Chains A and B, each alone.
Chain A
């Protein structure tokens, strides 16, 4: 019953989406007043999809094996949280979550959007409905999450043990909220291109949605990186894997979009860029969804290897992005840009910022798809991986980081103060950092060294906007910018420190033996068998000390039976200046145990930086929302327009 109710809700939502799109056509072609109806329908559509997702959650929580999806991906022996999280640990369930967020985002726009022009709002909601329609069709036709299995088997096939982790509860939902949240920017951009209302007002309306999606995407990527770091057992946090790139590309586009929107909102300029970026950001989200689910790229992340589904998604992608690009091509001529910007001004800084972000985006895109192009043209198989991306995107990112320190110091329109004077102290700090690294760490690579120097520069320059004014009176938006930019410096410092200072020790050790890694002495005290709810394991007991005091770490190798798999559970201890990362492997013929030990100084700065970036965004968003609230209190022009 529950599954059928979910399926019915999904069909109804699809029907409403179609109707919503029809209303948009009606409104744009004639003078029919549809706003009220449109808003209500969008809200009902969102609610119905939420109900459908709720039903799926319910069948997973109850381990209802008569639903094929539950059978294929769950097991009654699973801990409850993973039963629930397992709802989105598979293709159909995560696709339903995708569509739910799409529909609910549309509902939220319908409920809360007050600043958008009426016609643009209708066009935007209609466009959002059209997006949802395609994905409803995909779900209902090619990926039905509610399919039944008859007769119901006694128990399920279980969930991949690698996914039985708190990371699964957090990473995909956050990431999807970010990915799919960008659809609002897409829809509003398409709506504005249709109605011709591309202006500062649109930018101000789009901004909170882009900010919100961007914050969640930042958090999702940061969480995913940390999850991979502690789960995969080798201490890596980013692999330039195609699916990882698929999450980075929307983020890069969204970051550029965020800054472009600021120019559009403040100066009414960069209209074409902003619209294009809004379209590209969500297009990248759709490309990512396609890549993960079509099986065309090899990846540790790949979900469902199904060319049939891949074809469906490719068709949707081609239609949606193609239509948006056609709209842009046709309407682009009517976008009147303003006068060129002064060379030393914030606008110019932001243009260069966007340029570099777009180039990095282009490189990641090219590198990810290049093997495919080469094979299509010449049949040759080549691989593009970390060595390429690090070598190319790394330096560009460093240049961008330097500019991030300078840009916020520039005024709008024209910077008349001598900016370089302000940067004297950050430059001095950077030079000092360079000297220190050369003296204390002469052997590290050039890229990590530059990373540390640039991080020092950005950390100092990033807080300059708050210096010389009362910090408590500075707008929250400024605080947000400062915190986010500072977060970039922190993350950069962490990445550079990890690349430069990590100590690694791989050895076979017998019990009682001591190994050294960095400043640590690690003794293998014992290896014992142990067991959990659905696994057995070998657990090593390690005693680590540097100078005074000692800590105990217990890494494990776990064996699961449903499906049979083996995983490494690293034991990690965090200290103020780094992490001790330990893994135990198999025993060899001599009776020794394989140990992998890393001392990673300041590696946690990477994810701390990511969190700071998201926090900065949240502060900026809070600032803008509060400002909007305050304006709503005062009586203003636009209130004379009645919307609902």
Chain B
């Protein structure tokens, strides 16, 4: 009985190599463009979700979605007294305030006394501050950490999300984005 000689076709033999090439290319791409651990909000370009918050400190009014659609672009800054990078961000926010930018704050998982102390120690750039003790509004905005800032235009549409503290070097960019949002 003659034995069938089963030979592999050329395409079959080179298939693993082709597959390897594809995979290595994908891995090279990944090494070249490292993944960012930030999870950006998908609400850029969309309307601000409706929300109301309790007031965070007695001396300031609270923030609600309606307050943010005033006709002029505003910054909503998500912060907390226990957030370390927020401390240095406050100075930059004050500079922005000095340049006429309207800034509202949402304090996440915070207590009134702590917020008052934080503002007294570091400065107070906020017109209004809302209290978000269980991150509910933070989640509804698609924000995943503190500090983050959203630029909301006059009609209540989110135009830009800035993840992480706004640094000194970011100021020109933020001002430009605010202009675009008019």
CB <8 Å contact, A329 and B30? no
Task: Tell me, rounded to whole Å, the shortest Cβ–Cβ distance linking A349 to chain B.
Answer: 19
Q: Count of chain A residues with Cβ under 8 Å from any Cβ of B?
A: 34
CB <8 Å contact, A296 and B27? yes
Residues 99-121 of B contacting A (Cβ, < 8 Å): none
CB <8 Å contact, A296 and B31? yes
Do A314 and B31 form a contact, CB below 8 Å, given A372-B26, A373-B26, A376-B26? Answer: yes
B176 interface contact, C-beta 8 A: no
A481 interface contact, C-beta 8 A: no
* Chain A residue, CB-CB nearest to B37: A298
CB <8 Å contact, B20 and A376? no
Contacts of A376 in B (CB 8 A): 26, 29-30
By secondary structure, the A interface counts as helix
CB <8 Å contact, B23 and A369? yes
Q: When the two chains form the complex, which single residue of B4, B13, B31 contacts A333, counting CB atoms closer than 8 Å?
A: B13
Residues 462-513 of A contacting B (Cβ, < 8 Å): none
Do A333 and B26 form a contact, CB below 8 Å, given A307-B31, A314-B31, A338-B3? Answer: no
Task: Tell me, rounded to whole Å, the shortest Cβ–Cβ distance linking A307 to chain B.
Answer: 5
B34 interface contact, C-beta 8 A: yes
Q: With the chains together, A329 CA to B14 CA distance in Å?
A: 5
Contacts of B4 in A (CB 8 A): 337-340
B17 interface contact, C-beta 8 A: yes
* Chain B residue, CB-CB nearest to A317: B24
A326 interface contact, C-beta 8 A: yes
CB <8 Å contact, A314 and B28? yes
Q: Count of chain B residues with Cβ under 8 Å from any Cβ of A?
A: 25
* Chain A residue, CB-CB nearest to B21: A322
Do A298 and B35 form a contact, CB below 8 Å, given A333-B7, A339-B3? Answer: yes
B173 interface contact, C-beta 8 A: no
Contacts of B28 in A (CB 8 A): 314
A276 interface contact, C-beta 8 A: yes
CB <8 Å contact, B31 and A311? yes
Q: With the chains together, A375 CA to B26 CA distance in Å?
A: 10
CB <8 Å contact, A314 and B16? no
CB <8 Å contact, B20 and A322? yes
Contacts of B29 in A (CB 8 A): 376
Q: With the chains together, A307 CA to B32 CA distance in Å?
A: 8
CB <8 Å contact, A372 and B30? yes
Chain A 543-583: CB-based contact to B (< 8 A → 1; otherwise 0): 00000000000000000000000000000000000000000
Contacts of B13 in A (CB 8 A): 328-330, 332-333
Do A321 and B20 form a contact, CB below 8 Å, given A310-B31, A336-B5, A372-B30? Answer: yes
Q: With the chains together, A561 CA to B5 CA distance in Å?
A: 68
A130 interface contact, C-beta 8 A: no
CB <8 Å contact, B30 and A296? yes
Contacts of A290 in B (CB 8 A): 27
Q: With the chains together, A330 CA to B37 CA distance in Å?
A: 43
Q: With the chains together, A245 CA to B28 CA distance in Å?
A: 20
Q: With the chains together, A338 CA to B13 CA distance in Å?
A: 18
Contacts of B23 in A (CB 8 A): 369
* Chain A residue, CB-CB nearest to B25: A376
Known A325-B20, A339-B4; further 18 A-B contacts with Cβ < 8 A: A272-B8, A276-B16, A310-B31, A322-B17, A325-B16, A329-B16, A333-B7, A333-B10, A336-B5, A337-B4, A338-B3, A338-B4, A339-B1, A369-B23, A372-B26, A372-B30, A375-B35, A376-B30
Closest 9 CB pairs of A and B: A337-B6, A332-B13, A329-B13, A325-B17, A296-B30, A329-B14, A318-B24, A325-B16, A376-B29
Binding site for B on A (CB under 8 A): 272, 276, 290, 294-296, 298, 307, 310-311, 314, 317-318, 321-322, 325-326, 328-330, 332-333, 335-340, 369, 372-373, 375-376, 381
22 example contacts (A-B, Cβ-Cβ < 8 A) are as follows A294-B27, A294-B31, A296-B31, A296-B34, A307-B34, A311-B31, A314-B27, A314-B28, A317-B24, A318-B20, A322-B17, A328-B16, A329-B16, A332-B13, A333-B13, A335-B8, A337-B5, A337-B7, A338-B4, A340-B4, A373-B26, A376-B26
